[in-house]
Amino acid sequence: MAWGPDRWRFYRLVAREVARSIRAAGARLTASPDILARMRVTGLVIAPQDLRTSDATFADDIYAGLFVFAGRSLAASGGSPFDYAAPSPEWADELYGFGWLRHLRAADTALARANARAFVADFIAGRGDPALARQTPVAARRLISFLCQSPLVLEGADHAFYQSFLKAIARNAQQLERDLRRGVPPQWRLNAAVALCYAGLCCDGIQPILRRATRVLSRELDRQILTDGGHRSRDPRFAMELLLDLLPLRQSYLSRSVEPPLALLRAIDRMLPLLRLLRHPDASLSHFNGMGATDADHLATLLVYDGALAQPLMHAPNSGYERLEGGRIVIVADVGASPPLPYSVNAGAGCLAFEMSSGPQRIVVNCGLPASGPDLRLLARSTPAHSTASVAHASSCQFLTRDGWWGERQVADWLIRRRGAVVLSGPSEVEAERAEEPDSVLLAARHDGFGPNFGIVHQRRWQLFPLTARLEGRDVFLRQGKAGSRGRRRAQDVAIRFHLHPGIAVRGVSEGLELASALGEIWQFQAENAEIALEESVYFSGLTGPRRTDQIVLHLTVSDDVEVHWSFTRLASAPLRGVAPA
């Protein structure tokens, strides 16, 4: 960001964000009275179903004053969690989003209902940090949570609390309505529109908001959901969370005898097959562009709506994902360009990365996105955290970071607080093609992400032979650019990485490396034209947090065009002696 074309991209982003701030300030000064300011929520008509699974054991932690969200915990010691500093921004998002009320509802006890009512009363009374609570996606999640969990919160409540709860819902909806008119990032607009549609369907007294919210929802779904069902952010987690809200919303329209918008029905039908493309046999999603640990119960719930026997999509050219499948082997590859800047807050620099499974055992993985921690999350988004090639330890994308001279660092910090660590530049020309052969399926792709800085174009080819359980790969590095052009003809160190799942044990043998899983399979890895090394790695996507693991790294120096061959071959179905389950 501190030099070259990325500096000008940075300045253009600053100019756009300043202009957006001015427009928002102008909208506040010139806005007509809010629709909701003239209305009053007089009652709740329906409580939508919450498809997110709940666990009554979480209620026990909450009884004890322990609040565990986004991989961080806080012990309230009998007090209110709103009176303490949040351990991380992600933890605060979970707390103020109130999605955790569903765990108290699952306990189905008088104590759980009293606790839920007490926490909601604390928030309504103004306890907590208003700045954290009013962020658009947090406010949208809270509005949906209040509506879905209203039976829990209101059972046994007195009239005064009931009226306070209705006023809190009205204020929340009013804030989201203002956010839509003032201009917020596109994913936040979609979140706000979904929440306002819920409010218009569930509440008496604010029905007119439903017409506007439905129009905004239809427009945003048509803009943001691609033809193949992917979201413009290319983030599987965002798509999964969005579907968990859209499916009950569709039912809420029907429950109120209102025709659901066509854009909503089309989006749901397109999005479900793409989740199957990204799904591995272990019931988790591939770790690309913001995906960390998968809530397997949530994914299973969604796929029921797609039909238990539905076949996965194999080719998603708009979203930039491909799936190769044969026998027990599944390969999912990222062959897409960087998402547009407004959608890139969680995007990773993992172009041409892939993950491989054999049955329910993951073998090759990406590190995945940790639940919290800005530095760790940025590290997990870098190219070396993906099973692909990196040049000179650099990433194929340039992220917005606090670099440059003092003034630039201050401005960058302001931008990151408002927009997150978005992608300033990345691969723009990504080409992919696949072919079916009699005994194999082939996928080839290339990207130019290392071209501007290093004059190198990366090409990768996967060829899967299902009958022999063999994956053959080829990485080609093509030199481009003129000599003396910012050193782009200088020899560069290249590392091709294959991060291994923690459930894989690996050891060196004369033919290369031998990989074994606790499920009884033995694989052999071989490579040509590169030095094979076994190095430490970290798997951020474990259900219990980060775990140590290994990575296979192929080291080479690229001065002219270079071609590297590698392969994974299944040898046997008997475990190595002494290998224990992960």
Instruction: Provide the 3-class DSSP secondary structure of residue 435.
Output: strand
Please write the tens of the pLDDT for every residue from 33-72: 555 566 688 899 999 999 999 988 888 888 888 999 988 9
581 pLDDT higher than 50: no
Q: What angle do CA 428, 429, 434 make, to 5 degrees?
A: 135
Q: What does the pLDDT read at residue 30?
A: 58
314 pLDDT higher than 70: yes
345 pLDDT higher than 60: yes
Q: Picking from 297-301, 348-352, 380-384, 399-403, which range would have the lowest pLDDT averaged per residue?
A: 399-403
- The CA distance from 349 to 385, in Å, is 9
The Cα diameter of the chain in Å comes to 78
Residue 368 exposure: Cα atoms within 13 Å on the Cβ side? 30
For the chain, give the mean pLDDT: 90
Q: What does the pLDDT read at residue 253?
A: 96
Please write the tens of the pLDDT for every residue from 382-391: 999 999 999 9
Confidence of residue 582 (pLDDT cuts 50, 70, 90): very low
Helices (H), 70-158: 89-97, 101-107, 110-124, 130-133, 136-148, 150-154
Q: What does the pLDDT read at residue 5?
A: 65
What is the mean predicted confidence (pLDDT) over 254-273? 95
403 pLDDT higher than 60: yes
Q: What does the pLDDT read at residue 519?
A: 85
Convert 546-576 to b/e letters by CB count within 10 Å (16 or more is b). bbebbbbbbebebeeebebebbbbbeeeebb
What is the mean predicted confidence (pLDDT) over 256-285? 95
What is the mean predicted confidence (pLDDT) over 149-169? 94
Please write the tens of the pLDDT for every residue from 90-123: 999 999 999 999 999 999 889 899 999 999 999 9
Residue 163's identity, in one-letter code, is: Q
- Which residues, 6 or more positions from 280, have their beta carbon under 8 angstroms from its beta carbon? 286, 330, 332, 355, 357, 362
Q: Is 183 exposed, middle or buried (0-12, 13-18, 19+ CB in 10 A)?
A: middle
What is the mean predicted confidence (pLDDT) over 457-486? 86
Q: What does the pLDDT read at residue 348?
A: 96
Domain range annotation of the chain: 41-184
